[in-house]
């Protein structure tokens, strides 16, 4: 009976030690951080791309067309 109790105590102690080791381990910590960084990069890139698209279509292209038309004397 004493051997059974000691065996259970040893297994419990090993389980506690392995649980502490797993909790203190930081080997898989970078995956979520990397995913968040990628998502932030995609969102910021999309916002910049949309801003450039809006800028080119509303400001730069009409002005460019007018200036080229003035250079070649047509009303385009």
Share the mean pLDDT of the chain: 84
| Cβ density class 45-64: b for 16+ within 10 Å, e for less | eeeeeeeeeeeeeeeeeeee
Percent share of the chain, pLDDT over 90: 24
CB 53, CB 46: distance < 8 Å: no
d(CA 12, CA 23): 16
- The pLDDT assigned to 75 comes to 54
Residues of the chain where predicted confidence (pLDDT) is lower than 70: 26-29, 74-76
- The pLDDT assigned to 27 comes to 67
- The pLDDT assigned to 41 comes to 96
pTM: 0.49
């Amino acid at each position: 009976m004493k051997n059974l109790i000691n065996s259970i105590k040893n297994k419990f102690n090993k389980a506690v030690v392995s649980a502490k080791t797993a909790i203190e381990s930081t080997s898989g910590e970078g995956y979520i951080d990397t995913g968040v960084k990628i998502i932030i990069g995609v969102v910021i890139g999309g916002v910049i791309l949309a801003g450039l698209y809006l800028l080119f279509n509303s400001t730069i292209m009409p002005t460019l067309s007018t200036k080229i038309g003035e250079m070649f004397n047509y009303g385009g």
